[in-house]
């Protein structure tokens, strides 16, 4: 959405103070919260993504933990690229020459402006997975981002599982369950046949760039909107208007467990 369109649909500027007041309706203080958002859906925000991040931090407080995806989809196996694809004869050059993933430098890709701004904020930590990292700020940030392993990046050795263990929340602001990364954790836990693929990324090893290969499942987030719709029809959750956007707050453990059962019933 172009900025002129956003201005036209906004009666008054959306300020950080207004965002804080709206977010406080969801009672996020002290919680571990993974956030997915679309800044353009909030209306014209004075200060943009910076104002939204600061408002979220104030709502969660340092006693809680704010988490966002920090994925870098271009730091991945080029033969799987589809948006856009690259010529096959480029593959090996990309593997040989791609700069190594570095949490403090490597930009996010395809997530919107807010996660990219968030990862640069003071005291924000970022996990070590070169393609599917997460950024976190607050009390549990170090524990949530530590030991993010290459294999099965959104499974048991991922920040998603650490959020689950801590009874965390999922906050969707102006986006649907197609953006709900936590549902990937259910894909690993559901008992049905999974397709395993070999991926690769450029990482630093002993100070040198290395193309590291690793295993992961073939994700199917096309199912997530249906899972979310059915979950919302059967379970209670909190909601509020944040700026001009609809926000929904879910217990991550409950929705992940629901998704596990949903997937098993569908696939078996």
**Strands 134-138 and 65-69, bridge-based pairing:** antiparallel
46-61 per-position pLDDT tens digit: 999 999 999 999 999 9
Q: What mean pLDDT, rounded, does the chain reach? A: 96
Q: What pLDDT sits at residue 192? A: 86
CA pseudo-torsion sign 126, 64, 38, 150: positive
Total domains, the chain: 1
Q: How confident is the model at residue 264 (pLDDT cuts 50, 70, 90)?
A: very high
Average pLDDT of 124-143? 98
Q: Domain limits at 87? A: 3-267
pTM, rounded to two decimals = 0.96
The single residue listed with the structure tokens 């909030």 is 42
Residue 268's CB is within 10 A of a number of other CB atoms, namely: 9
Burial 160-197 (b: 16+ CB within 10 A, else e): bbbbbebebbbbbbbbebebbbbbbbbbbbbeeebeee
Q: What pLDDT sits at residue 268? A: 65
């Amino acid at each position: 959405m172009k900025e002129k369109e956003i201005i036209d649909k906004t009666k008054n500027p959306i300020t950080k103070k207004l965002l804080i007041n709206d977010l406080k309706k969801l009672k996020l203080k002290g919680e571990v919260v993974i956030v997915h958002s679309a800044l353009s859906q909030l209306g014209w925000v004075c200060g943009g993504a910076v104002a939204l991040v600061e408002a979220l931090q104030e709502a969660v407080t340092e006693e809680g933990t704010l988490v966002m995806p920090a994925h870098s989809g271009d730091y991945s196996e080029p033969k799987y690229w589809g948006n856009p694809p690259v010529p096959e004869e480029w593959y090996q050059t990309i593997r040989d020459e791609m700069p190594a993933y570095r949490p403090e430098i490597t930009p996010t890709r395809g997530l919107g402006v807010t996660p990219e701004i968030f990862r640069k904020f003071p005291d924000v930590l970022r996990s070590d997975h070169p393609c599917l990292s997460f950024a976190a700020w607050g009390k549990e940030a170090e524990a949530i981002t530590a030991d993010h392993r290459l294999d099965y990046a959104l499974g048991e050795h991922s920040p998603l599982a650490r959020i689950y263990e801590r009874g965390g929340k999922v906050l969707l602001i102006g986006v649907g369950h197609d953006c709900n990364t936590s549902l990937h954790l259910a894909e690993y836990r559901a008992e049905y046949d999974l397709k395993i693929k070999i991926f690769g990324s450029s990482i630093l090893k002993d100070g040198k760039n290395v193309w590291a290969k690793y295993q992961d499942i073939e994700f199917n987030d096309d199912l997530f909107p249906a899972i979310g719709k059915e979950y919302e029809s059967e379970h209670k959750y909190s909601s509020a208007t944040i700026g001009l956007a609809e926000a929904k707050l879910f217990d991550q453990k409950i929705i992940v467990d629901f998704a596990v059962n949903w997937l098993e019933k569908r696939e078996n």
